[in-house]
Structure 1
């Protein structure tokens, strides 16, 4: 459940900070709106691609690779931000990798979480959604609370979600 929540929180951190970040890079509101198209498409590709991959590989075999893509993508976004040379392309390319990883991670971890509670799947889903929305709210709050440095705040928050997702993976492996 922590993996799902952390991945969602990263997305929400970006969604909260990106209008400020991208307008700071000189993009118009229309440009900013259009920048969400590649993210959405790669998220969908991740979700549908995961379903195809699950016909050939187990979820437990896919998840480490998906978390690696998630981690590398966020590190790429952070490197672009901390380089001082951030551009739409340098931020959006790794972010789209993260979006693809998220799209693939969600069905894997949601299914695994709900399978642990077959007689209480409704309660498990409610708990999972509560954790997800709570972390999303918290990370959006952190990003929106620091408007003077939206890029650094956003990518740092996203970096923290990597640690949370990896902690969730470790917890899941030892459960």
Structure 2
């Protein structure tokens, strides 16, 4: 596979996550009314997806290390397509939750596989730059997803917004079947052995670079998840935006994220990963503190949330490529397992945050703002301590 094809496939495999979350977010209030559910119950359609997504990677990772990336990817994407059809046809909220969990579990194969493929093909520094390009492609998918979801849900209803995911899954399956070439050679495949797998996980979890990189990826994603889980109700029900307007707000966030991935590639060349992340950590802290101060001062405006979050997403474009690439870098012979553990930890934290958000009273911007402030502050601390000490291999 040529470099352009690799980046395209990685973008689509990683992009399966934002399209699965972002495209249906503008439809979430309508879905809530359609099932007669409370906002906290409807948010379970997001948190159940992400919990299944995180747990499933613990299984997909070892399978990909044993049988190769291609069979795992094809199986996962086929299951994702089937689950997407089930979501669109769900007759109750309980049925939708089950299909969303299956969808999340299947999604884990694509995202875990993408991160493992980067380690198969590239050394750490080049891997971070390649992953940055792929995450830029992810940003393009996210840009399209939210406005498309807003338009489809306003024009045709929330079921059609979920049906679009089945089309995406089928197209990705066809492309992988036709163009993806296996990246894990037979001599680097690991046998399926429960005891060896537990030892491998223990080794990975004890690794200082893995701990630092995972903490960076977790805190950065947790802040984004807090925004995504809360913003449909805050922007549309509290601040009065339409579905299309909300979709455009998410479009702007994704566009800024793409700019952040471009900046990431330049900073990696000029500063190296450690200094790039520390600089972006300062931008994150400025963003979340500004948002929190405006909310505590009683400023009730879309712009008081959106503009600071643009800054957050600019830095997120640095943190995610660096965090995800660095987490698997020390483990060339267990990239699938390292990728799976990294993804699992990210999604467990997101699930717990979603459970907390579901218990908060509606009609206020404060759960969103204070949640983003907490994770942004934690991210800055990680960047200036753990990444500073363990972010790069000795001599990098």
**TM more than 0.5:** yes
CA distance in 2 between counterparts of 1:79 and 1:158 reads 12
Runs of 5+ unmatched residues, structure 1: none
Match of 1:103 in 2: 317
Give runs of ≥4 in structure 1 deviating > 4 Å.
none
CA distance in 2 between counterparts of 1:70 and 1:95 reads 9
Runs of 5+ unmatched residues, structure 2: 1-213, 391-396
| Equivalent runs, 1:91-170 vs 2, <5 Å | 91-148=305-362, 150-169=364-383, 170=385
Judge conservation of contact 2:295–2:366 (CA < 8 Å) in 1.
yes
Task: Report the structure number with the largest CA radius of gyration.
Answer: 2
- Residue number among 237, 252, 260 corresponding to 1:46 in the alignment: 260
Judge conservation of contact 1:10–1:139 (CA < 8 Å) in 2.
no
CA distance in 2 between counterparts of 1:92 and 1:162 reads 15
Match of 2:272 in 1: 58
- Residue number among 8, 18, 21 corresponding to 2:234 in the alignment: 21
Match of 1:4 in 2: 217
Q: Give TM-score, length-normalised by structure 1.
A: 0.91
Match of 2:386 in 1: 171
Change in CA separation of 1:161 and 1:74 when aligned onto 2, cut-off 3 Å: same
CA distance in 2 between counterparts of 1:107 and 1:145 reads 32
How many residues in Structure 1 have an aligned counterpart in Structure 2? 175
Could you report, residue by residue, the CA deviation over 1:27-65 in whole angstroms, capped at 9, with x for unpaired residues? 222211111111000011101221122222211111111
Match of 1:87 in 2: 301
Q: Give TM-score, length-normalised by structure 2.
A: 0.42
For the aligned residue pairs, the C-alpha RMSD in angstroms reads: 1.7
CA distance in 2 between counterparts of 1:157 and 1:61 reads 26
Match of 1:73 in 2: 287
Could you report, residue by residue, the CA deviation over 1:127-165 in whole angstroms, capped at 9, with x for unpaired residues? 100011111122222222213354111111112213432
